[in-house]
Structures are given as structure tokens and as C-alpha cells.
Structure 1
Amino acid sequence: MHDHPIAELLHHRDPVTLPPEASVQDACRLMCRHRVGCVLVVDHHERLVGIFTGRDAVERIGAECLDPAKTHLSAVMTRHPHTLAPEAGALEALRLMQDGGFRHVPLLRDGLVVGVVSRGDFRAQQHARLNEETGLWETMR
């Protein structure tokens, strides 16, 4: 695999963001509506302060029996998540996710959120490559 910039994998999706005082229930609804696995938690200057994922919902809300309607993201988010610049290589992002044991990496430019990359973005790239290779084999017959 060539080490393409992460930004090529994003397909121009805007990241889903909420402020720290938003409820977990709001975050879960937004994640379902947008069919994403995380919400980036940003301050009023759009600077990243944390990330809330489906895993956080299960491990921190469900396991501790917290009320999602009354629990703020600031209480259960992962603070200071690992981040990358959108110009970083795809292999670097994959290594970071593998080594860290997480599925999402926020992308920052000059401290501001510009996107998020997930393991699923790489699966989509792999499927596209497989379809391309299958098409080449079919035309060679």
C-alpha cells in the first residue's frame, strides 16, 4: 500500500462535533443519525478537547449505569486524544490506531478540527482497490 495522505480517505466528510456540556444522549443520537462511531468534543473556539466513541458509551455509561440524558460529555470523553495532521500518511494513521488500540484519529490543522479518520475509512479504500483489481482480471479474460 502506498502511503497516501489521510485526507484522501475522508471523502470530504465533515466531522461530527459537540461541546463538552452536551449530553451523552445527544452524542449518541447524533452518532446514529450520521452513522459515525465518534463525536469530536470541541470548545467554543472549535479546538479539540476530547473524543467520545461508541466504546466510551458502552464502557463508561453502560458499565457504570450513568444516565445518558444527565451525563455531560466532559465527564466521560477521552481527553487529549492522539491526533494527526491531514497531510500525515495513511500508514502512520494505521500504525497509530493499531499501537494505541483505538479506531478513530482526529485530524487537526493549526489546532483546529478538520476531520477524523477511522479504521472504516481504510476498509472502504481496500474494497475499492479489490473492485478495481477484479475489474482488471475480468477484462483480461
Structure 2
Amino acid sequence: MRDRHLDDMVHHRDPVTMPPDATVQEACRKMRTHRIGCVLVTDAQDRLLGIFTGRDAVCRIGAECHDPARTRLSEVMTAHPQTLPPQASALDALRLMQDGGFRHVPLVRDGVAVGVVSRGDFRAMEHARLNEENGYWETLR
């Protein structure tokens, strides 16, 4: 994982994006449908404007009693989130998430949102690595 690049991790996945005038309810439904923890908020040219996460839904909508059917993403998203280029290392992403206290990092190339990496991606990588090691040790028995 040390020298693995983020573009290797998100190779065949397009980020789930929504416009800033979409409602929180629409975003939550899309997140549920895709089984993801965030949507990237982008303009018509796919430039990143912000990010809306499951944590935002709880802390900014539920806790403050906003109506999710009437609240726009532009009102509650995290605007101008920290990003990384897709060629950054996995370690760079883990450090950024740890230092910033968040679970998702948008990947941006030339201002355009091209992906998102989450802490869960790293858990899946580690699990796959452990399965591979276990298989190796089983063949030696």
C-alpha cells in the first residue's frame, strides 16, 4: 500500500456527483442506492464545489431539524474540501484523512472531480492483502 497510487484504487469508478441545487433528500437516496458515504457536489463542467457526506446528513440536517426535501446541498455541503490529485499516494490520502478528521477525499485533476477515496477503500485493500498472505501460508503447509 505504501507506494500505491490513488488512481489505481479508483480506476474504474466514476464519482457520484450532484449539482448544488439538488436536495439533501435526493443526495441521501443516491447515497443509499449506490451504497456510498458521500456525493461530490459539482458544477455543469464537473468542477468540484463541495462534498456532502453521511456525517453531514446527521450533523447538519438531523441535528438542526432542517427539512431534507427542501434543503439544497449548496446550503449544507462542505465547500472547497481538501483534495488530492489522483496520482497521489495512498499514504498521502491516509495522512490527510487522519490530520483532517474526515473519511473521504475527493480526487481532482485540473479542477475536475475524477474520483473519491474513503477510509473504507483502505480497509478493503488491507483485507485483500491479508487474504492473499493467508493463501500463501496455506500453500506452504
TM range (shorter): over 0.9
Q: In structure 2, what is the equivalent of residue 108 of structure 1? A: 108
CA contact (8 A) 1:10 1:121 kept: no
The residue aligned with 1:76 is 76
Letter in 2 for 1:55: R
Separation in structure 2 between the aligned mates of residue 24 and residue 2 of structure 1, nearest angstrom:
36
Alpha-carbon distance in structure 1 between the residues aligned to 2:45 and 2:11? 25
Residue 133 (structure 2) aligns with: 133
Which secondary structure state, in structure 1, belongs to the residue aligned with residue 44 of structure 2? coil
SS of the counterpart of 1:131? Answer: helix
The residue identity in structure 2 corresponding to 1:138 is E
Secondary structure of the corresponding residue to residue 55 of structure 1: helix
- For the 8 Å contact 1:10–1:117, the answer to whether it is kept is yes
Whole-Å separation in 1 of the counterparts to 2:46 and 2:114: 10
Is the CA contact 1:52–1:78 (under 8 Å) kept in the aligned structure 2? yes
Question: Alignment identity in percent?
Answer: 72
- In structure 2, C-alpha distance between the alignment counterparts of 1:65 and 1:2, rounded to whole Å: 43
1:47, 1:111 within 8 Å by CA — same for their partners in 2?
yes
What's the Cα RMSD here? Answer: 0.8
**What TM-score results when the alignment is normalised by the length of structure 2?**
0.98
Does structure 2 conserve the Cα–Cα contact (< 8 Å) formed by 1:9 and 1:122? Answer: no
Instruction: Give distance in 1, aligned partners of 2:2 and 2:70.
Output: 46
- Tell me which stretches of 4 or more aligned residues in structure 1 moved more than 4 Å: none
Query: Which letter maps to 2:127?
Result: H
Structure 2, unaligned runs of 5 or more: none
Any idea what SS the aligned residue of 1:31 has? helix
Q: Secondary structure at the match of 1:44?
A: coil
Amino acid at match of 2:74: S
Partner residue in 2 for 1:123: 123
1:2 shift after superposition: 2.2
SS at match of 1:12: coil
The CA distance in 1 between the partners of 2:11 and 2:80, in whole Å, is 25
The count of corresponding residues between Structure 1 and Structure 2 is 141
How many angstroms does 1:8 deviate by? Answer: 1.4
